[in-house]
Amino acid sequence: MIANYGYKDGSGEFYISIDTDKCTTCSEKGCLESCPGQIFEMMVDDWDDEVAAVKASERNKIKMTCAACKPTTGRPELLPCQAACKPRGITHSW
Amino acid sequence: MSENQQKEYWRWKEYNWKNPEIPDWKGGLVTAGVDVGSTSSQAVICVDGQLYAYASMRTGSDSPSSALNAINWAMEGTGLTLQDINFTVGTGYGRVNVPFANKAVTEIACHARGANFMYGPSVRTLLDMGGQDCKAIHCDDKGKVTSFLMNDKCAAGTGRGMEVFANLLAVSIEDVGDMSFNVETEPDPVSSTCVVFAKTEATGLLRAGWSKEKVLAAYCSAMASRVVSLLERNGMELDFAITGGIAKNPGVVKRIEKLLGVQALTPKYDTQIAGALGGALFAKALVEKSAKVAK
Amino acid sequence: MITVGVDSGNKNTKAVVLKDGKVIGKSLILTGFDANESATKAYELALKDAGVTAADVAAVASTGVGRVEVKFAKDNVTEVGSAARGAKFLMPNVNTVIDLGAEEGRAIKLNPDGKIADFAVNEKCAAGAGSFVESMSRALQTTVEEMGPLSMKYSKEVPMNAQCVVFAESEVVSLIHQQTAKEDIARAVHDGISNRVSSMVRRVGMVDDLGLIGGPARNIGLVQSLKDDLAKDITVPEDPDYVSALGAAIYATEIA
Ligand code: SF4
Ligand code: SF4
């Protein structure tokens, strides 16, 4: 399943997509530790798989939380969360 | 407070329904789904996986009593009591606060499951627009979610944004759709997405001599294009269906269909119960699964 | 040399008359339906305030959302350009400028020579702009002017979850119903918006010192929340609403 967490508001679209099929193959769960904003958590989804998700309390703030990782100039090719996710299951829409 | 009077403009109708084709629930597997949303709550009761009864009402100040009111109203005239229900799934925004539920399942999973029942297994893309959120769901032929996208941060593109507009123009929310077609030519969409700025824009348009109908047309079409962009991000595949409160607003629905160049499926039931219905079906599957394990 | 800068904003139109590096006149009026008409009025008022006539003016430059509509201006300068110039003029030490308007916000990083190094803009969502506080003050049944002093008297942090003006209004109403103190709600409102504003500052990369300009900078509660959020001191010039108009007047000296 592709889970898109985030929002679209007047200022743009801000979504973090997690390919949860990759989570079930992942042993390291690098997303949890790597994110300075600590926005990820593991949860058991409705089909009983343990997958990563963006915390409910963080979903509507990701544009702000991720700001520090996304400087206007000199943004790294892979964001910390993407680099730490070994199966490459995380993408950002902005 | 004058606020309460204003609210009457956009009050959704409340109702309950019982399936005349199922004379009695006795001897069947009775399961229930209760969807406690931020603005309205629904309860659905299924007998052996068939739709038996439902009720829909506005969510009150707390989730537990809203859930209880909804299920009591759905059970009205059926002779059912809470004890007769084998398994109940809570879903929606207040799903963890349904005191008599055996399990909580996300509204995304329940909606897909409910839509699969309501529209048949060919449905792939679902749009659900509720009072305070908007969801796009892509699912397989079993009603299992393959991708989803939610938006509950921004009031634009939710029922709430529409309510603010209906309020501003002092028209009833139920009339918005029909009124919005009462224009000679379709105006350009309102350019601001933000409800606050769109309100300012609308005030300016009214001052410039636009009719209420024309302003509503411009807002409905802005809402439609916004929703279409979300659908496209999540993956748009036919068949396509629209659920939730906004499904009752042809002003938005027809414009979405026009932008996508497709027709949404027409449901046999009230689309607002999709989540609760999915919950009741999930409940049935869970009962059957545990019966298998027990054997 | 006398120059004039006109800042045509969403809410207010401001004009500043600059004579040889000194402000000699200014004006602020509500922006009406016609941006050019409001600009003309503000211009005339500022000239009157300065005691000069249009014939004395070497050049007029405009800025703000309505800047291209100001027909009598010789040239216009972007909001970022005018904010940077005005802020550097009034606060020479400042290298990061936060400019808050009624409908938008921006963070600008300056090089030591005052040139713009980087900037981030937040627009088209009212939750990140000055009008957020205005809407919340209405929900609180008080005035924008009262929001600052109220917020300074807060005693408890209350969480505000809504990130949207419309949803936040309902949240404020339900906080009131729960008997939450107005002071605490005011603080929560300011914390909420400063959170959104400070993320822009983080995107450009904060360099000392920080300056805050724009009308909402008059709100001491908001300034305090921003200071706490960024853990930095923030300089606010005396007349924060006129800084961009001043910046445009400075720009006018460059093109005169
Ligand atoms: S970009 Fe940074 S803050 Fe955002 S999710 Fe990735 S690691 Fe976390
Ligand atoms: S764009 Fe407007 S309606 Fe949307 S979140 Fe921002 S303030 Fe709310």
pLDDT per position as a tens digit, B278-292: 999 999 999 998 887
Residue B208, number of CB atoms within 10 A of its CB: 8
How much of chain B, in percent, has pLDDT values that exceed 90? 73
Using DSSP's 3-state secondary structure scheme, residue A93 falls into coil
- In this chain, the answer to whether the domains covering C1-91+239-256 and C92-236 adopt an identical fold is yes
B79/B203 same-domain check? no
pLDDT, position B197? 92
CB under 6 Å to ligand 1: residues? A 34-37, 39, 65-66, 69, 79-81
Instruction: Determine the average pLDDT of the residues in C152-173.
Output: 95
Residues B146 and B67 placed together within one structural domain of the fold: no
Give the residue-averaged pLDDT of B176-201.
Answer: 94
Based on the fold, state whether residues B108 and B135 are members of the same structural domain.
no
Residue found under tokens 């939750």: C127
pLDDT band at B294 (very low <50, low <70, confident <90, very high): low
Model confidence at C250: pLDDT above 50? yes
Homologous superfamily of domain range C92-236: ATPase, nucleotide binding domain (3.30.420.40)
Kindly give the interhelix angle for B159-168 and C165-177, rounded to the nearest 10 degrees: 80
Mean pLDDT across C86-93 = 96
Q: What is the CATH number of the domain that holds B85?
A: 3.30.420.40
For A51-79, the pLDDT digits (tens) are 999 999 999 999 999 998 999 888 999 99
Centre of ligand 2 from the C-alpha of residue A11, in Å? 8
Average pLDDT of the segment spanning B256-271: 88
CATH architecture of C1-91+239-256: 2-Layer Sandwich (3.30)
Both tokens of residue C30?
A: 């509500």
Assess whether pLDDT exceeds 90 at residue C214: yes
What does the pLDDT read at residue B7?
42
Is residue C66 within 8 A of residue C39, CB to CB? The reply is yes
Q: Tell me which of B163, B196, B199, B201 to substitute to probe the interface with C (most C C-beta atoms closer than 10 Å).
A: B196
CA distance A89 to C195: 29
| Statement: residue C133 has pLDDT above 60 | yes
Given pLDDT bands bounded at 50, 70 and 90, which one contains residue A47? Answer: confident
State which H helix or E strand residue B4 sits in.
Answer: helix B2-7
User: pLDDT tens-digit profile of B1-36?
Assistant: 333 334 433 445 688 899 989 988 999 999 999 999
**Same domain, yes or no: B176 and B257:** yes
Give the total number of structural domains in chain B. Answer: 2
Domain boundaries, chain C: 1-91+239-256, 92-236
Q: How many CA atoms lie within 13 A of C208 on its CB side?
A: 3
H-helix or E-strand containing B165?
A: helix B159-168
pTM here is: 0.88
Mutate to test the pocket of ligand 1, among A15, A32, A35, A82 (most ligand atoms within 8 A of CB): A35
Whether the per-residue pLDDT at B246 is higher than 90: the answer is no
Domain that holds residue B100: 3-115+273-294
Same domain (yes/no): B129, B167 = yes
**Residue C103 contacts A where some CB pair is shorter than 8 Å:** no
Instruction: Kindly give the pairing relationship between strand A90-92 and strand A50-54.
Output: unpaired
pLDDT of residue B12: 54
Ligand nearest, relative to CA of residue A52: 1
Statement to judge: residues B83 and B32 lie in one domain: yes
Q: Are residues B140 and B237 in the same domain?
A: yes
**B132 in the same domain as B92:** no
Parallel, antiparallel or unpaired: strands B30-36 and A50-54: unpaired
Both B230 and B128 in one domain: the answer is yes
Neighbours of B (≥3 Cβ pairs closer than 8 A)? A, C
Are the beta carbons of B153 and A7 separated by less than 8 Å? yes
Mean of pLDDT over chain C: 95
In this prediction, residue B3 carries a pLDDT of: 37
**Which chain A residues have a beta carbon less than 8 Å from that of B153?**
6-7, 9, 59-60
Rounded to a whole number, what is the distance in Å from the CA of B198 to chain C's nearest CA?
Answer: 10
Domains contained in chain A, CATH given? 2-92 (3.30.70)
B111 shares a domain with B139: no
